[in-house]
Each structure stands twice: as structure tokens, then as C-alpha cells.
């Protein structure tokens, strides 16, 4: 599996001026600035600081602003170059940004990964494009016991190929977990889930191809205890 790291976006060095910082944001079209020092990642800085009238007057360089407001720099938001896809997904689960910097083993900045890229890789990793039988299971929205669901169905000898989660609406009391099996014979697994009190739906075969696994993978990123 090829890991996509966008290397054409360079970091902004600490000695950058106000004009250089604005040019960087205009060029990258990103909401957070990737701050580096001699190539090493320092952290992310919300680009909103550029609207502070003191920057460019009282603060001549990016470093001056960061020294005055060190709490504004976010240092823990990054992905390591050879991180597992679940680690990359976990990093995005804690962030609102659509991009995160990537660092090597020496913490040198090497590029960015986007949320969509990670979602696509996660979908591929979870075999979401493969054929299989799909069921929906309703879980209490405040207690998604995904591990229990997997344990119950696999005790029946049924292999779980993919499991994804759909975010409930505010008025809904249950979260929908979609399970894809590698077999068409899943009646025993369904019976077991129902016996333990779970509500199970089987989407019509013609509708199964329309399930938005990409969206549900995004929700899985948020929910998985990785």
C-alpha cells in the first residue's frame, strides 16, 4: 500500500516575516501554518494570528510572536513517516485540521498528509471495496461496544471483513454499525446478535453498494480506541 505524503508544501521557518507568512498561507490555502526551525517541525499555528495588527509592527518575525504567545503553537499534532494507518487515523481524530505535518525519525518535517488521504487508505486497508454481505446493527449511541459485536459474530465462524460506524442524528438514541462479511451465509451471526438483544437490519442487496463507507470510516476514526 502506497502512503501518500504531499512534499510540495514546505514548512515556514521561525525567522519568516509578516509578508512571508501571509504569502505562505495564500500559496498553501491552509488554515494552520506548519512552523519549522532549520527543517525540524516546531508545530502548528492558527493562521488567524496574521490578522493581529501587532504582527508586522510589534512582532517583526514569526519567532517574535511565538515567543510572546507560546501557548498558541500546537506541538503534538503530527504523523510520523512510517506510522501505521490506525496511528495516522488516531492523530486526525484529535484534530479539526484537514491536514497534519509528517516527520521522520529525527523530527524533520517531510510533508503533509490530508484527512481525505488517510480515509482513502483506511478504506483500502479495511477492504471496503471487496464484495461481501452487509448488515446494520443498532447500538446505544453512548456505548458503542464494537469489540463485543465482533466477538459474538466470529464465535459463529463468520469472518468480519469490515466494520464501520454511522454518526447518529441528535434525536437518535442508537448508533448504526455496519458490518461486512466475506460470506453470504450470515444467518447464524444475525441470530446470535438478536439473541443478545441487538437489533439487526439487512440492507437490500441492490442498496448495499450505495452505503457510504468513506463517511462511516471517518466516524470510525473518531470512535476507535486506538
- Residue 186: pLDDT band with limits 50, 70, 90: confident
| 62 shares a domain with 107 | yes
Q: Is the pLDDT of residue 197 over 80?
A: yes
Measured in whole angstroms, how far is the alpha carbon of residue 82 from the centre of its chain? 16
146 in a structural domain: yes
Query: Quick one: how many helices (H) and strands (E) in the chain?
Result: 8, 11
| 80 shares a domain with 135 | no
Range of the domain at 102: 12-121
Top pLDDT among 73 and 50 is at 73
The mean pLDDT of the chain is 79
Q: What is the pLDDT of residues 112-148, one digit of tens each?
A: 999 888 888 876 766 655 666 788 888 776 655 677 8
| 152 shares a domain with 109 | no
* pLDDT the model gives residue 226: 37
| 172 shares a domain with 202 | yes
7 in a structural domain: no
Q: Are 125 and 1 in contact (CB under 8 A)?
A: yes
Question: pTM of the prediction?
Answer: 0.59
Helix (H) or strand (E) holding 40: strand 40-46
SS3 string, 100-128, reads: EEEECCCCEEEEEEEHHHHHHHHHHHCCC
40 in a structural domain: yes
CA dist 114 → 30, 57, 83, 168 (Å): 11, 34, 14, 25
Amino acid at each position: 500500500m502506497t502512503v501518500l505524503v504531499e512534499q510540495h508544501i514546505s514548512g515556514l521557518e521561525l525567522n519568516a516575516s509578516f509578508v512571508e507568512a501571509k504569502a505562505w498561507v495564500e500559496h498553501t490555502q491552509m488554515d494552520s501554518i506548519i512552523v519549522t526551525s532549520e527543517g525540524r517541525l516546531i508545530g502548528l499555528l492558527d493562521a488567524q494570528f496574521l490578522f493581529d495588527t501587532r504582527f508586522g509592527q510589534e512582532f517583526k518575525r514569526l519567532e517574535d510572536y511565538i515567543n510572546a504567545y507560546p501557548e498558541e503553537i500546537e506541538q503534538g499534532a503530527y504523523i510520523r513517516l512510517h506510522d501505521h494507518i490506525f496511528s495516522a487515523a488516531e492523530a486526525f481524530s484529535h484534530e479539526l485540521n484537514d491536514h497534519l505535518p509528517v516527520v521522520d525519525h529525527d523530527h524533520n518535517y517531510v510533508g503533509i498528509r490530508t484527512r481525505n488521504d488517510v480515509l482513502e487508505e483506511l478504506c483500502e486497508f479495511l477492504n471496503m471495496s471487496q464484495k461481501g454481505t452487509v448488515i446494520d446493527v443498532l447500538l446505544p449511541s453512548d456505548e458503542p461496544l464494537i469489540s463485543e459485536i465482533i466477538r459474538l459474530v466470529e464465535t459463529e465462524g463468520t469472518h468480519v471483513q469490515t466494520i464501520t460506524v454511522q454518526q447518529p442524528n441528535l434525536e437518535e438514541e442508537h448508533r448504526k454499525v455496519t458490518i461486512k462479511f466475506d460470506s453470504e451465509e450470515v444467518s447464524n451471526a444475525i441470530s446470535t446478535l438478536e439473541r443478545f438483544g441487538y437489533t439487526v437490519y439487512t440492507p437490500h442487496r441492490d442498496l448495499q453498494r450505495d452505503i457510504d463507507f468513506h463517511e462511516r470510516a471517518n466516524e470510525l476514526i473518531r470512535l476507535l480506541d486506538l
